Each structure stands twice: as C-alpha cells, then as structure tokens.
Amino acid sequence: MNSSTNQKLEIQKVESSRIAEVDFNNLTFGSAFTDHMFECDYKDGEWQNPTIKPYGPLTISPAAKVFHYGQAVFEGMKAFKDDNGKVWLFRPEQNYLRINKSSVRLAIPEFPRDVFFEALTTLVKLDKEWVKPGQGNSLYIRPFVIATQVGVSASPSSEYKFMILMSPAQAYYTGDVKVVIADHYSRSANGGVGAAKAAGNYGAQFFPTNLAREKGFQQVIWTDASKHEYLEEAGTMNVFFRVNDTLLTAPISDRILDGVTRKSVIALAKNDNIAVEERPVSVAEIVEAAKNGSLKEIFGAGTAAVISPVSAFSYQETIYELEKQEDGFATRFKKELMDIQYNRSEDPFGWRYEVV
C-alpha cells in the first residue's frame, strides 16, 4: 500500500460563510460544523485528489464496505485561540501517529504525514474565525477514514476516504459525573482493537452506558474482559485514581487507548513531583481505598472533556461518594493543561503547535 501522493492540495472556498448562523453561546458538542472540510481518496494503491471543499453531504454507495464490515477509524483533537488571536494545535503529531496506528490495525493504508499536516493547517487557517477565544472555547477537529469500496464480500476494502471535519466547541461536561464500575459488559479484550480508535469500539459502549444512565449514572468505568477485576477506562476517556497523594492509572495495552491527554497528565504530574504509578489497578483496591478514606479523587482524561472529575461510583449496587476536592489533582492538571493549550503559560514540553 502506497501511503504517499504527489498531487497538490486543491482548495475550493465557500462563496459565503455560515458562521453568522451559529450561536456560539449555546453550542451542542459536535453538532455545528465549519465552512470547509478536507477529503482525500485511496484508489489504485495510492492516495489521490487531496481537496479542501465546502462542508456538505457525501454521495456513497449503500454497498460501501464501511457499512458492512466497520472499517472506520477516527481521531479527536482541538485548536485553541489565545488572547492575541493566534491559533494553536495541541500535540497534533500524536494524533497523526495514532490514526495511522489505528488504520494499520484495521488493515487501512496509512496516510502521508505531509498531506495530513498541510490539509490540517490549511483547513484551520481557512476557518480560523470559527475558533473563538476564551476559557473552554475551542475548535474540535475530527480526522477519520472509512472504507468506500463497493461490495459486500468479507475482505478488506481496496478503496478509502480520508476526511477532516471541524466543529466549534465549548466545555464538554458540566457538573458532577457519577459512574458505575462494569462487572458484566466489556469495552475491549486481549488481542482486540481496544488500543485503536475504531468506530465500532464506541458503538459497542452505547448499550451498557444507556443502562447506567437509566440508574442515574453518566458513564461506565470499564474493567478487564476476562474477570472484571481491573479498572481500565472511563466511558470514552482514560481514567486516573488518586490514592492519598499517588496517581494511579492502568498501563497501555492492546485493550487500552494511548490517550494524548492521558500521557500529558502523566508528564505534568511527574513535572510537579507527584508520584505516578502506571500499573494494573484492581476494583478491590479502589473499593477498599474508598472505604478507608485514602481514595481522594477519580477523574477521566480525554480530548473532548480534558479532565472530568467523578463525584461518586457504584460497584455491585453499592454507591461510594467522593469528597469534593477544591484544589485537587483534577483541578490542578486541567488548569495546567489549558494554560498551555491557550498559550497562557510556558510550554516546557513543546506541545503547542502554532498554525501560521
């Protein structure tokens, strides 16, 4: 599979912007999209026709393999505008590497780096007015790949479409989040696609999450598929536990996504001389810590929500409340992350990527 293209990026601009139609003070996450999108097709063994065009619907055969065999992967990333009007991406190289890692796992050809970054930065510059300044405001960016070959034979597609969509966003979660620890349903299994951002991973979560919501919980903390003894992820996020003053999180494996926010939180913690343990974290350990008072915090970490504190968790019908931490790790890491993202502080890690 050839993961390069010699074709130049074509740009088709909209005649007039739709930005005036959007109420930026009342955004529903992922429901409004910017004026332009990026599209590139894989045919005859190579990526072709990289194009930025006006946002709009696709024409695709109902026999496209994505609908029948689920060959689809995606990424989630953000652009931020600082107080001087400059626009920044946060660790985009990590998203580029991960979408190709996900693609390889689903037998999808890798996408060329130069085309990815040219398309990404050109697209953000074209629609930079959609990036609003201010705390919590951002531009959510969704690169994704789908299988487009027509045919329902059970085999990898020979044709694909790589796209990038962008959506203005505000804070993803508001208020306290209550979770239930899974003891029956699983997110992923050994040797599966849990470490890939495969579309089907998320579709399979919806039913058990709906069951949790019927009981008053917003999300599920997933456990290992074999015995449900170890804690792995929270909803669509990586999950952290603070026991006394030590931060615990599950190690990366073929079941657990290598989250960009996760690795950023770990780097921030180590930079702040906070003890971090990346190791299997058992349900029994966290339940006992909740009982004896040493469990101080649980929080999810992901691109959309950044940091999402958990106020209570349920396990086998018993609810454990967590005392609110006014100046806890979750608050601290969220502020440190967002200060870097919005160019309000030094960036000792080199995470910011200016769109120029």
Banded pLDDT at 305 (limits 50, 70, 90): confident
Banded pLDDT at 7 (limits 50, 70, 90): confident
* Per-residue model confidence (pLDDT) at position 119: 98
Name residues whose C-beta falls within 8 Å of residue 51's C-beta, 6 or more positions apart in sequence.
9, 10, 11, 12, 38, 39, 40
63-91 pLDDT tens trace:
999 999 999 999 999 999 999 999 999 99
231-286 pLDDT tens trace:
999 998 999 999 999 999 999 999 999 999 999 999 999 999 999 999 999 999 99
68 backbone dihedrals φ, ψ, rounded to 5°: -110, -30
Provide the 8-state DSSP code for 328: -
* Per-residue model confidence (pLDDT) at position 174: 62
Banded pLDDT at 317 (limits 50, 70, 90): very high
159-169 pLDDT tens trace:
999 999 999 99
Share of the chain above pLDDT 90, in %: 94
The separation between the first and the last C-alpha atoms of the chain, rounded to the nearest angstrom, is 32
Residue 336 has pLDDT above 80, yes or no: yes
- Structure tokens that stand for 189 in this block: 């299994």
Long-range contacts of 319-327 (CB under 8 A, 24+ apart): 320/287, 320/290, 320/291, 320/295, 322/290, 322/295, 322/296, 322/297, 322/298, 323/296, 325/296, 325/297
Domains of the chain: 10-169 (3.30.470.10), 177-341 (3.20.10.10)
* Per-residue model confidence (pLDDT) at position 2: 46
Mean residue pLDDT across the chain? 95
